Structure 1
Amino acid sequence: MKKFLFAGILLWAAAVKAQQAPVMKLVACEGKAQGTYYIVKYLCADTTSLQPRIDSIFGVIDQSLSLYKPGSVINRFNETGEVQMDEHMQAVVKKALFTYKATKGLFDITVEPLVYLWGFGVHKPSFKGVPPPDSIKAAMAFIGSRYLRIKGNHLYAVRKGVQIDCNGIAQGYTVDVLGRFLASQGIENYLVDVGGELCAKGHNHQHKVWSVGIERPSPGDTAYEPVQGLVRLPDKGIATSGNYRRFFDQGRTRFAHTIHPLTGVALHNNIISVTVIAKDCFTADAFDNPLILMGVEKGLTYIAQHPAYGLEAIYIYKDKDGTIKEAFSKGFKQYMEF
């Protein structure tokens, strides 16, 4: 009799708890920022939109890292060669210098002069297309994060004329900042997407791990007519670098906006895209450009040889006969929903 009574009490307590538990609803905020779109989804009992505060966060980060914002912290550095960094620029520059060393210079925020020359910057050069070799050679004299120094929150260049561009990492950083903001509001389940760079936490409204779509080639494809593939993000970040976002074609060659900082030349290899999963979007975004510059074989070898970075990746590329193929790092398939 006591066992039945005890079981009844447990059932009653569970029922009361279920009644007291708030009903979680899916809330979505959408807008434009950092030259692209953003979508923030989260589960919350309070459906009051957080969009004004989300927009405010974008505004603060832009005032720090946007080359399009007059008077931003990064623009003040590029004008004078030194600046007192705020918390956002400090975090991004430190991560950039770490990645610069980790990739032996393949990630380098001092590429701003080259970004300008290739026509992917805020201002456009007087010519269009591939820059003259002498212009690239002249710009290379100012390329190299070895010219940057940090002392406290002070950033300065030891070579006059060095300028920085953090666009290759700022979106991933912003994604994680937004994720931390949601967590500070007591939100445990969310998905943040800023221009295709994403982070996820917890589960969606269907009580499943958040899934996001990536473009994958159809079998035997030669024209790259992609089909949608799904990737599960169990508390991870994901970022993609490719030759299909910002590019120009000259002759039969496509030049993408990713600049090789050791040669000064824009990306023009056989890789269509590389998608990177990491512990956070900041890390995934930092490594996607170096991995696409490495190429498929070297990139996958790099991931295998540096397990401490926690990277997994999928490459979409053109084989020698023009067939579109894909290659995975060892652990990437565990995230795929085929």
Structure 2
Amino acid sequence: MKTFFLLLMSICIGTAATAQEQLLKLVTCEGKAQGTYYIVKYLAVDTASMRDRIDSVFAVIDHSLSLYKPGSLINQFNATGDVKMDEHMRTVVEKAIYTSKATQGIFDITVKPLVYLWGFGVTKPSFRGVPPADSIKKALSYVGYRYLSVKGDHLTTTKKGVQIDCNGIAQGYTVDVLGKFLEQQGIQHYLVDVGGELCAKGVNQQGKNWRVGIERPAPGDTAYEPIQAMVELQNNGIATSGNYRRFFDQGRTRFAHTIDPGTGVALHNQIISVTVMAKDCFTADAFDNPLILMGVEKGLKFIAQHPAYGLEALYIYKAADGSIKEARSPGFRYFGIF
């Protein structure tokens, strides 16, 4: 499970609601799924809750991609190195491989052995600390997206023992699936939030664009201030990765749950969070982990050099003097009020 810093907001800006939109009512569905919360807000004439149907969407995706669910397709693959994928798993795996190639392996779903080695896996570790160098080296021998082979709906591995963990991308995918589900019900105005990964379309009940707030941690501890910036969503997605919700401290170094698949070492730079905006939440979620691993300078350079990916990002990081600083790509300022 990733770390998130976004708060769902209903304060919005934009144009006045049309007469037709004024007839629509705001419906809110809330619940627990994928180890976190979800909030779905949408406008509809029929105000009957769709929570049961939304929960069913989660159940289908969990059968495919949940490491927590015994017998899921991903667990079948991790046990045997061979699985016939459903549409959900195939879409996520293909996107993951695409992102791995785009980031030269900085994103890699075969990182599962390292995630567990560092104590950030599904099962609670008996010990959490920096693993021995030889253990990291051994785990790294099973890491590499090139060990994965996709032929049609079949996923196999070319090296025995390779396992995958899609938690760094599957939640953003789920957000977009829920958005498409709402559209299939004739809903054109919605905001979907799954653990802080969001997508939005249309306007809110006031006929204005949806907005979300980004939290900012206080210097020197794990607390956070409610709002750092307001970000407006206009038919796009947003995802955040960071280091102050799942971590451990060893000495003067903080190690977060994001693992570098190149070195096998947990994130321990001065970046507190990176918030990524893209055309959809799936894409934003795919790139937030590699961007936080790249660091501020390399991350912003990557965004500038690859405009086709449609990424914008806001970094929040700790400076050498302990103060909290920000850096963002040029396009990010157009989405928010700072």
TM-score normalized by the length of structure 2: 0.91
- Say whether the 8 Å CA contact 1:117–1:124 is kept in structure 2: no
Tell me, in whole angstroms, the C-alpha distance in 2 between the residues paired with 1:328 and 1:335: 11
Letter in 2 for 1:226: E
Q: What's the counterpart of residue 321 of structure 1?
A: 321
- Say whether the 8 Å CA contact 2:201–2:236 is kept in structure 1: yes
- Percent same amino acid among aligned pairs? 73
Q: What's the counterpart of residue 111 of structure 1?
A: 111
Letter in 1 for 2:284: A
Tell me, in whole angstroms, the C-alpha distance in 2 between the residues paired with 1:336 and 1:282: 21
SS at structure 2 position matched to 1:116: helix
Tell me by how many angstroms 1:128 deviates.
2.5
Tell me, in whole angstroms, the C-alpha distance in 2 between the residues paired with 1:222 and 1:72: 41
Kindly report which structure 2 residues correspond to 1:230-309, keeping only aligned pairs within 5 A, or say none. 230-309=230-309
- Say whether the 8 Å CA contact 1:22–1:45 is kept in structure 2: no
Tell me, in whole angstroms, the C-alpha distance in 1 between the residues paired with 2:203 and 2:162: 44
Tell me, in whole angstroms, the C-alpha distance in 2 between the residues paired with 1:143 and 1:125: 21
Indicate yes or no: 2:211 matched with 1:202.
no
* Larger RCO of the pair (alpha carbons < 8 Å, separation 6+): 2
Higher Cα radius of gyration: 1
Give the direction of change, closer, same or farther, for the CA distance of 1:117–1:49 in structure 2 (3 Å limit).
same
Tell me, in whole angstroms, the C-alpha distance in 2 between the residues paired with 1:42 and 1:62: 23
Tell me by how many angstroms 1:222 deviates.
6.4
Q: What's the counterpart of residue 56 of structure 2?
A: 56
- Offset from partner CA, 1:77-103 (integer Å, 9 cap, x none): 000001000000000000000000000
Letter in 2 for 1:234: Q
SS at structure 1 position matched to 2:64: helix
SS at structure 2 position matched to 1:249: strand
Tell me, in whole angstroms, the C-alpha distance in 2 between the residues paired with 1:226 and 1:22: 34
Tell me by how many angstroms 1:127 deviates.
3.3
Give the direction of change, closer, same or farther, for the CA distance of 1:173–1:323 in structure 2 (3 Å limit).
same
SS at structure 2 position matched to 1:269: coil
SS at structure 2 position matched to 1:177: helix
Which structure dedicates a bigger proportion of its chain to helix?
Answer: 1
Give the direction of change, closer, same or farther, for the CA distance of 1:163–1:203 in structure 2 (3 Å limit).
same
C-alpha root-mean-square deviation of aligned residues, in Å?
Answer: 1.6
Tell me, in whole angstroms, the C-alpha distance in 2 between the residues paired with 1:75 and 1:222: 39
Indicate yes or no: 2:42 matched with 1:42.
yes
Letter in 2 for 1:249: D
Tell me by how many angstroms 1:314 deviates.
0.3
- Say whether the 8 Å CA contact 2:215–2:224 is kept in structure 1: no
Q: Please, which moves more after superposition, 208-217 or 302-311?
A: 208-217
- Offset from partner CA, 1:47-68 (integer Å, 9 cap, x none): 1111110000000100100001
Q: What's the counterpart of residue 88 of structure 1?
A: 88
- Offset from partner CA, 1:203-227 (integer Å, 9 cap, x none): 0011110001111468xx6667535
Tell me, in whole angstroms, the C-alpha distance in 2 between the residues paired with 1:184 and 1:310: 26
Letter in 1 for 2:31: G
Tell me by how many angstroms 1:245 deviates.
2.1
Tell me, in whole angstroms, the C-alpha distance in 2 between the residues paired with 1:325 and 1:206: 34
Tell me, in whole angstroms, the C-alpha distance in 1 between the residues paired with 2:261 and 2:281: 22
Tell me, in whole angstroms, the C-alpha distance in 2 between the residues paired with 1:311 and 1:232: 15
Tell me, in whole angstroms, the C-alpha distance in 2 between the residues paired with 1:23 and 1:120: 47
Q: What's the counterpart of residue 145 of structure 1?
A: 145
Q: What's the counterpart of residue 24 of structure 1?
A: 24
Letter in 2 for 1:128: R
SS at structure 2 position matched to 1:37: strand
Number of aligned positions between the proteins: 319
Tell me by how many angstroms 1:294 deviates.
0.2
Tell me, in whole angstroms, the C-alpha distance in 2 between the residues paired with 1:62 and 1:225: 31
SS at structure 1 position matched to 2:168: helix
- Say whether the 8 Å CA contact 2:37–2:194 is kept in structure 1: yes
SS at structure 1 position matched to 2:169: helix
Tell me by how many angstroms 1:230 deviates.
1.0
- Offset from partner CA, 1:6-60 (integer Å, 9 cap, x none): xxxxxxxxxxx96x88810000000000000000000000111111100000001
Unaligned 5+ residue runs, structure 2? 1-17
- Say whether the 8 Å CA contact 1:176–1:282 is kept in structure 2: yes
